[in-house]
């Protein structure tokens, strides 16, 4: 079977460049892929011209709901991808991380829409006054790039690699071209075919190149973004291409790294932490046959515990049954190909120049349900480097398979130094129950690692583990790990957007951002804003309330009701040496009184108070002061109906500006209400 590529809105067969794709267990050719005959300039132009405008017209809420629809659709048919995944050598557990984990990313980024406005763009941070008179200010906004995201993915997770990246660029409003690795692109294509057939994505939002993709980066512009997952050497080569350098194309690189696991000095044999450490290391050696960018390559342990760790790890690894993922009892499948086996064996040979194999055998091992001479099988290998500060191969060479090296340390400072000698990694794990050890290690190692996983008995049941990147946390690392970041919640979305500083009058910036900027022109209406439906409220619409003169009785009564008897409110004799001239009103009384001034008690479209975003008390309020409120519609965020019986509604953010008789602001608060829409 020859895999087709999805470009320019349809499936097309390559004209040549056939690359065989092998069944990892049987060694048989299952398909061929290629990318000859593709005009990449046309592919990029099509995505920018067709997919880009369609996505940019959508709001964050609409894009998030699109991701939710896609996630629900794929979740309903996910079982069909498991048999295809087994052909890559993956066990059911391996496949779960790839398939269910990828779909989980779609769900996570769908939910993240709630952190963004009901708008195609994002208002970033607070406004910045730039003039004393309040007529000139600045505000950062972030808009979707007018380019295309090119994702070059690794062979180990064909589905997760595709879905975790497109979830982010789609939420940002940018189309994508995905190029999975040739060895396993048949699995990515199987899911991509269903995605295209679903009709959930707008035309041009997603294109797929299953072959080598040579030339895919030759026609990039400054509006495009490249993400790369794979080996550090390949990533550096691609990052130095003229099209990347000349156009200053953002290049996010996530490279395989020499990740470490450190056993804390307190985690002695017999403790829960020691057992957790052995379990975690064993899992990272055998899961996906060690073919994970986050796999533990260096096992750093106290020198007096090396033998205990070696014996315990060997005992666990002996339970690992290797073979056909479909065979009963198999816990570790094959590497992706015989070529990959040869590559790993070559790296092991290099590692043994400074280390010795203390567990496993490259030749003598048993497999179940398959022919060892035909499939891409390799047994777990554990090495020992007895002099890690001088035998440096451990810190430079990675065998991308079921291989790890034991490394001894004498004290915590040495453990930190050894972990950092990997020159930058995606993740490291410290197993300890000593909080001081955890703090010292984290502060010493964090500049060299993208993620630090602190594991002990208290969090073990809920821990997602050393090797699991999570959608709302960044995935990447410095130095050898590529210097990039993926996912990370909002951080990842903003990677596909351009930050622009906009300057002007507050009214002008209000019109641009759809967020009321302090000092902008206000709109007053006869009807109370709490009597208006969501659709009828306008940004900048303002209610100016009646006023109230503050009395000492107000302060005393609030202290009695709230129980807040802080001295500045109730004891005028204790104010010497403070900033207060006399007894001062409670900040929360001011907020409560403000609500009493602006709330309309009649039943109307306002359903409930949803919360407070920001609250500042900017000036003391003493008895005799007269306060009033300007209540302004600051921002509106539409909400989708959860089901047909749900009330149509949206969230309205209000700026509550409480001022005194001098006109100065004494409190500035952003409150949220849930407001009904028209039926």
Distance (Å, whole) CA 627 – CA 420:
59
Q: Running DSSP on this structure, what letter comes out for residue 667?
A: E
CA angle centred on 400, ends 269 and 368, rounded to 5°: 75
Backbone angle region of 594, left / alpha / beta, with phi > 0 → left and psi within -120 to 50 → alpha: alpha
**Kind plus residue range of the DSSP H or E element containing 279:** helix 272-286
The strands making up 10-12's β-sheet, listed across from edge to edge, are: 10-12, 5-7, 206-208, 176-179, 149-152, 225-230, 251-255
- β partners of residue 497: 144
Distance (Å, whole) CA 263 – CA 261:
7
Judging by beta carbons within 10 Å of its beta carbon (0-12, 13-18, 19+), is residue 518 exposed, middle or buried? middle
Distance (Å, whole) CA 389 – CA 421:
9
**Kind plus residue range of the DSSP H or E element containing 492:** helix 490-494
Per-residue three-class SS string for 560-585: HHHCCCCHHHHCHHHCCCCCCCCCCC
Backbone angle region of 76, left / alpha / beta, with phi > 0 → left and psi within -120 to 50 → alpha: alpha
Nearest by Cα to 84 from 95, 97, 74, 73: 95
- Interacting residues of 398 by C-beta distance below 8 A, sequence separation 6+: 256, 257, 258, 297, 347
Distance (Å, whole) CA 156 – CA 24:
12
Structural contact between residues 290 and 258, judged by C-beta atoms closer than 8 angstroms: no
- Interacting residues of 218 by C-beta distance below 8 A, sequence separation 6+: 40, 41, 241, 243
Question: Which of 146-163 are b and which e, b meaning 16 or more Cβ less than 10 Å from the residue's Cβ?
Answer: bbbbbbbbbbbbbbbbbb
Structure tokens at 398: 């990675």
Q: Running DSSP on this structure, what letter comes out for residue 622?
A: -
Structural contact between residues 401 and 289, judged by C-beta atoms closer than 8 angstroms: yes
259-263 and 381-384 beta bridge pairing: unpaired
Catalytic residue flag (residue 254): yes
Structure tokens at 57: 């017209």
Catalytic residue flag (residue 293): yes
Distance (Å, whole) CA 638 – CA 182:
43
**Kind plus residue range of the DSSP H or E element containing 296:** strand 296-302
Structural contact between residues 79 and 461, judged by C-beta atoms closer than 8 angstroms: no
Distance (Å, whole) CA 272 – CA 458:
10
Q: Find the catalytic residue in 293, 398, 485, 635.
A: 293
428-431 and 452-455 beta bridge pairing: parallel
Per-residue three-class SS string for 163-216: HHHHHHHHHHCCCEEEECCHHHHHHHHHHHHHHHHHCCCCCCCEEECCCCCCCC
Q: Find the catalytic residue in 33, 164, 210, 254.
A: 254
Catalytic residue numbers, as ranges: 254, 293
């Amino acid at each position: 079977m020859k895999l087709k590529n999805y470009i320019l809105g349809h499936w097309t067969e390559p004209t040549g460049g056939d690359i065989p794709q092998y069944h990892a267990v049987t060694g048989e050719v299952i398909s061929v892929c290629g990318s000859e005959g593709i005009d990449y300039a046309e592919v990029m132009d099509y995505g920018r011209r067709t997919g880009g405008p369609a996505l940019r017209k959508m709001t964050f809420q609409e894009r998030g709901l699109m991701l939710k629809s896609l996630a629900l659709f794929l979740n309903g048919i996910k079982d069909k991808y498991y048999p295809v995944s087994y052909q890559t050598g993956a066990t059911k557990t391996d496949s779960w991380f790839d398939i269910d984990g990828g779909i989980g990313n779609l769900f996570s980024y769908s939910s993240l829409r709630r952190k963004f406005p009901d708008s195609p763009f994002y208002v970033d941070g607070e406004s910045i006054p730039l003039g004393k008179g309040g007529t000139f200010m600045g505000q950062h906004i972030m808009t979707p790039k007018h380019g295309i995201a090119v994702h070059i993915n690794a062979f180990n997770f064909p589905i997760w690699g595709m879905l975790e990246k497109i979830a982010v660029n789609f939420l940002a409003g940018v189309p994508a071209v995905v190029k999975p690795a040739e060895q396993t692109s048949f699995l990515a294509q199987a899911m991509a075919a269903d995605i295209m057939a679903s009709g959930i994505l707008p035309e041009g939002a997603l294109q797929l190149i299953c072959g080598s993709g040579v030339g895919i980066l030759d026609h990039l512009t400054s509006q495009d973004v490249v993400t790369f997952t794979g080996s550090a050497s390949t990533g550096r080569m691609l990052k130095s291409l003229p099209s990347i350098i000349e156009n200053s194309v953002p290049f996010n690189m996530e490279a395989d790294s020499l990740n470490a696991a450190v056993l804390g000095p307190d985690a002695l044999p017999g403790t829960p932490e020691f057992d957790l450490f052995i379990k975690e290391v064993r899992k990272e050696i055998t899961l996906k046959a060690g073919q994970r960018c986050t796999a533990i390559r260096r096992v750093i342990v106290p020198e007096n515990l090396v033998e205990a760790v070696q014996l315990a790890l060997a005992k666990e690894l002996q339970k690992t049954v290797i073979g056909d993922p479909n065979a009963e009892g198999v816990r570790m499948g094959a590497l992706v190909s015989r070529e990959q086996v040869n590559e790993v064996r070559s790296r092991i040979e290099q590692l043994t120049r400074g280390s010795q194999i203390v567990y496993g055998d490259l030749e003598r091992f048993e497999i179940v349900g398959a022919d060892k001479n035909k499939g891409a099988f390799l047994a777990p290998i554990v090495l020992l480097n007895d002099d890690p500060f001088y035998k440096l191969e451990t810190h430079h060479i990675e065998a991308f398979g079921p291989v790890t090296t034991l490394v001894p340390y004498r004290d915590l400072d040495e453990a930190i130094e050894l972990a950092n000698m990997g020159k930058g990694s995606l993740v490291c794990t410290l197993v300890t129950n000593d909080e001081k050890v955890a703090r010292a290690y984290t502060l010493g190692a964090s500049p060299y690692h993208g993620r630090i996983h602190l594991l002990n008995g208290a969090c073990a049941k809920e821990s997602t583990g050393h090797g699991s990147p999570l959608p709302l946390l960044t995935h990447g690392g410095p130095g050898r790990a590529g210097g990039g970041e993926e996912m990370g919640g909002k951080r990842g979305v903003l990677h596909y957007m351009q930050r622009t500083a906009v300057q002007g009058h507050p009214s002008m910036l209000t019109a641009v951002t759809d967020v009321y900027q302090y000092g902008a022109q206000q709109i007053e209406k006869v009807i109370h804003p709490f009597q208006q439906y969501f659709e009828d409220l306008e940004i900048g619409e303002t209610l100016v309330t009646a006023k109230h003169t503050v009395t000492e009785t107000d302060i005393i009564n609030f202290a009695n009701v709230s129980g807040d008897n802080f001295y500045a409110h109730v004891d005028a004799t204790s104010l010497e040496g403070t900033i207060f001239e006399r007894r001062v009103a409670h900040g929360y009384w001011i907020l409560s009184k403000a609500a009493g001034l602006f709330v309309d008690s009649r039943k109307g479209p306002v359903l409930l108070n949803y919360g407070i975003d920001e609250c500042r008390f900017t000036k003391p309020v003493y008895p005799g002061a007269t306060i009033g409120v300007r209540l302004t519609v600051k921002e509106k965020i539409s909400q989708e109906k959860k089901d047909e019986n749900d009330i149509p509604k949206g969230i309205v953010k209000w700026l509550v500006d409480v001022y005194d008789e001098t006109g100065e602001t004494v409190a500035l608060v952003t409150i949220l209400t849930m407001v009904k829409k028209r039926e």
